[in-house]
Amino acid sequence: MNIEQIKEIANAVLYEGYLLYPYRQSAIKNRQRWTFGVVYPREYSEANGGIEPWSMQTECLLRGSAHSLLDVHVRFLHLLLRTNQTPAHQQGIATNARQWGLAARMANEPLEEGVEREIGATGLALAELAAHPHMVGIVFPARLIETDDSAERGATVVREQQSVVGMVSIAARQLDGDLFKLSVRIENRTPGTRAIPAQGNRALLQSFVSTHTILQVRQGAFISLMDTPPELQAMAKECRNDRTWPVLVGNEGEYDAMLSSPIILYDYPQLAPESPGPLFDGTEIDEILTLRIMTLTDEEKEQMRSDERARAILERTESLTPEQFMKLHGVIRDLRPLREGEEL
């Protein structure tokens, strides 16, 4: 499986819980949604008792040789705050002073968005990683973007993003013959975060969110940590995975790629082929969510349109054909006849 196909599966992890039904900013669960794979700044973590993790580590086994080459991709969301600076009376929704004040707060309330970030290294020789680690820096500076949207909605959209700094260390250790242990450690080293208060979500703006790692090997093979051969189980138990779980990814029976995810998965996770697109829910209940979206009021749909990804969900749902919708209903997987003597 190529890297783009793997990223399609990894994106289900990246955007797990990004938006939840009813897909509105006003919904409480869409204001406190960043719960998976968060790597906080080290200064912030240590100043608050080390409760929040400032690192993530993946360890797994693979068979290889001096000719084995590794590709490592670390991916996460980098949050920004988007503010629509729109007077409520311009939206035609205020009928008195009290309503105007409430509407203004709703219209101008900052909304968190996630920007995809990816760093990595390709073509790393396994033999060289066994001799010394390979280091990759993470540096994404702060930025402020203002967009004049007055022609469409009478608004100025302001997007503000804080800087993040970190490091990825990639190392290997030869255990026995052609057997190696691979380690990938991710650290958030963003400076100037010690004084951020523990209350609220301010630290998330300088954190790595939904962090995960994609590993690929050429002329080598990863060992499943879920279905490990008996002779390797003792070594597999010594693999230290902090807040992440590596599983084989690709077509079943392939051993050249792993996805290390903050969400527990089984080997060879797959996207539901009948799903027309992401709903950010992480479970195969597309039919129920699609039906619920169809029942939203015009006002609720207008609130959905304020977020780019929520708007895409709405437009995709409203354009579904009857044939596409019927594919979501009554899917049965892994149906097989009972073996002789087997009970239900």
pLDDT digits (tens, 9 = 90+) for 138-149: 999 998 887 765
State residue 153's pLDDT score.
55
- Which 3 state secondary structure label does DSSP give 28? helix
Taking CB atoms within 8 Å and a gap of at least 24, the contacts of 3-8 are 3/71, 3/73, 3/214, 3/216, 5/250, 6/214, 6/216, 6/249, 6/250, 6/257, 6/259, 7/75, 7/214, 8/271
pLDDT at residue 94, rounded to an integer: 45
Over residues 231-278, the pLDDT tens digits come to 999 999 999 999 999 999 999 999 999 999 999 999 999 876 666 566
pLDDT at 91 over 60: no
| Each residue's pLDDT tens digit, 299-339 | 888 877 877 777 887 888 878 787 776 766 655 555 556 56
Compute the average pLDDT of residues 42-68. Answer: 95
**What pLDDT, on a 0 to 100 scale, did the predictor assign at position 16?**
75
Q: What is the DSSP code (8-state) at residue 197?
A: -
Half-sphere exposure of 181 (CA within 13 A, CB side): 18
Q: Which of 201, 243, 273, 215 is nearest to 62 (CA)?
A: 215
Residue type at 318 in one-letter notation: E
pLDDT of residue 72: 98
- Residue 100 is predicted with a pLDDT of 41
Give the span between the Cα atoms of 327 and 276, in whole angstroms.
9
| Residue 290 pLDDT exceeds 90 | no
